[in-house]
Structure 1
Amino acid sequence: MAQTELQASDAQPLADWWQSRRLTEQGCWHIAIGPFSLYLERTAGEWLVSHQRHSDDEPLHRVLQEPIEACPESLTVQRYVFQKAPLDFRLQPCLMDRPVVVKTRQPVLIPPGESIDFYISTPLCLRLLLGNDTLLQEWPILRLSDTWFGPSTRVGELCYAAKTHARHSLDEVPLRPHRAVTPLTISNQSKAILSIDKVSLPVPLLSVFARSDHTLWTEAVTLVHQADQLLAKLKIERKLPVGITAAQRVTEPRQQAEKNALVRAFAGIFSD
């Protein structure tokens, strides 16, 4: 990725915030991505890093970088010491380290043999990389609640609960810099109606792609429900869906999906 030296004149909204950049010595910078603020300071032998999350009242569509005189003293500072501090840094968007459970806007009923498309946006994590991609730290941009997803306390898995909805139309999805959008198809291949009120999206198995319009996406995912099975068949397309073009993969999946994988994907299933 191309490197750009940060100068005072660059204190404008930055869309492609995942590009590699250079911080001048003794410089202090504030970078805001949605509700998350990161503060960086570099000296000859150190990088000083602090961060904070803002309330929901803060602008969620913002991407901002600006020079500041000093980092806020009220924040906890992480001090990284080097014989010679790297000059360059890169912020890398990645997906959460557990599946994310989202609610449909209302219970969805899918007749036998039918498929339905959703668009789901999930919050990102942010990695700070220095020099030749040395990882310093990773933060979730939003703090999500833990939730147990499964039919009982003994059967299931620990996930995150996201305050978002599975939306049926792409036009309804707000495109925000701290979230990635996943096109999701749910296919009912059973002989009974499939009712869903929650979906668990296996985001650790997905990549992050950046489009030329600066929005972030993942591969398309298909979940197939078959008769008398509580687990769904998972299919991940190793490319973006039709109509989503001019994209570059910026982050690989945390985990590789097994072939013909089965996942616990739906809550609220019933048949009649």
Structure 2
Amino acid sequence: MDIETESRRDGVWAQPYELVTGQTQHHKLGHVRLWVTLLEKEWQVRTETREPETDPVGWTESIDHRLPPASESLKRFVREGSTSTVTFIPAVANLPTVIRPYHPLTIPGGMRCTIYVGTVVWMKICVGQNQTLLTEVPLAVPSLTWVGRNTMEGELCYASPNFGRLVLEAVPKRAWRAVTPVTIINRRTEPLLLERFSLPTPLLSLHQNDRGELWTPGVVVEVATDMNSASLHVDEGLLVAAGPCKKVAPAREKAAKGRLVRAIDRVFG
């Protein structure tokens, strides 16, 4: 990755950073500003979320002895021994994420399509060789929505601020977003109107390529002749377009073996 200046560098996932007592590491990525301070007996974490007028692109970090600005978001954690390394691990959302196409899309009977989605990840702040978790920070303010038949039957999900795209190149690549290909197969004879769908984010692992992009395995959703249910499974591999990748984070939840059959209104809302 390119170095912007002598003091400010590009941030890197899953790389230990060494701090000395009194130093603060400052990160700028997405809508988030993050400060991690090492003191003699504690770690301090401060965050600030902004709403910029334009979509930010880069992730930079710097280390110095300047104290961060006063913030109500201060969190303090006991420092164990002489622990002095901090590592930032990406994590998928802990709830399913509702994705919408740019405009409602109809999949004719017997056809399939692949939609590419970018979902915002969380940042886990870990310290020491064992990567002890201090806290985790969403890299965008998550909004909640409900997916289900009614207010009694369904589940709480995050609503993605980004649209699903039919063309991979149209998905903005950011260090704090993971790209997931979703293939929807319509086995019915009738057309399927796709207005939104629920991506099982907690079942997805995270992988990083040499361009610094985050990818997850693909998800396949199959709607059979029975309109009341849809089957879903997570691919074992990654899309070829991702290129060589290394795994940087496991899935939050372990997927059941075989296909997951879900009520249709839990998938397409």
TM-score with structure 1 setting the length: 0.90
1:225–1:233 Cα contact (<8 Å) kept? yes
Give the structure 2 partner of residue 41 of structure 1. Answer: 37
Q: Distance in 2 between matches of 1:248 and 1:83?
A: 30
Give the drift of 1:10. 4.8
Unaligned runs of 5+ in 2: none
Quote the residue 2:210 is aligned against: 212
Q: Specify which of 166, 190, 197 is matched with residue 192 of structure 1.
A: 190
TM-aligned CA deviation for residue 58 of structure 1? 6.1
Aligned equivalents of 1:100 and 1:125: distance in 2?
A: 13
Give yes or no for contact 1:44–1:84 (8 Å, CA) kept in 2. no
Q: 2:34 matched to 1:32? A: no
Please report how far the alpha carbon of residue 217 of structure 1 lies from its aligned counterpart in structure 2 after TM superposition.
0.7
Question: Of the candidates 87, 97, 120, which is equivalent to residue 90 of structure 1?
Answer: 87
Deviation per CA, 1:27-83: give whole Å up to 9, x if none: 112112211111011123211111111113365212111234111113432121235
Q: Distance in 1 between matches of 2:6 and 2:83?
A: 23
Q: Is the 8 A contact 1:102 1:198 kept in 2?
A: yes
Q: 2:103 aligns with which of 103, 106, 111?
A: 106
Aligned equivalents of 1:133, 1:254: Cα separation in 2:
16
| 5+ long unaligned stretches in structure 1 | 1-7, 268-272
In structure 2, how many angstroms separate the alpha carbons of the residues matched to 1:83 and 1:116?
Answer: 51
Report if the CA contact (8 A) 1:95-1:124 is conserved: yes
Q: CA 1:10–1:52 in structure 2 vs 1: closer, same or farther (change >3 Å)?
A: same
Corresponding residue for residue 120 of structure 1: 117
Query: How much has 1:201 moved relative to structure 2?
Result: 0.5
Deviation at 1:85, TM superposition (A): 4.0
CA contact (8 A) 2:13 2:90 kept: no
Q: Cα distance 1:18–1:181, how it changes in 2: closer, same or farther (>3 A)?
A: same
| Distance apart, 1:237 and its partner CA | 0.9
What value does the CA root-mean-square deviation take over the aligned residues?
1.6
Q: In structure 1, how many angstroms separate the alpha carbons of the residues matched to 2:241 and 2:63?
A: 38
Note closer, same or farther for the CA distance 1:86–1:231 as it changes in structure 2 (3 Å cut).
farther
CA distance in 2, matches of 1:248, 1:10: 28
CA contact (8 A) 2:38 2:44 kept: yes
Residue 204 of structure 1: SS of its match in structure 2?
helix
- After superposition, residues 230-241 of structure 1 pair within 5 angstroms as 230-241=228-239
- Report the alpha carbon displacement of residue 243 of structure 1 after superposing the two structures with TM: 2.9
Amino acid at match of 1:86: T
The question of 1:228 aligning with 2:226 is answered yes
Q: CA deviation at 1:21?
A: 1.4
Partner-residue secondary structure (3-state), 2:202: helix
Name the CA distance, whole Å, in 2 between partners of 1:230 and 1:54: 42
User: What CA distance in whole angstroms lies between the structure 2 residues aligned with 1:58 and 1:137?
Assistant: 28
Question: What TM-score do you get using the length of structure 2 for normalisation?
Answer: 0.91
Match of 1:4 in 2: none
Q: Is the 8 A contact 2:41 2:79 kept in 1?
A: yes
What residue number does 1:139 align with? 137
- Provide the C-alpha distance between the structure 1 equivalents of 2:13 and 2:249, rounded to a whole number of angstroms: 14
* Separation (CA, whole Å) in 2 of partners of 1:41 and 1:201: 36
- Tell me the SS of whatever aligns to 1:243: helix
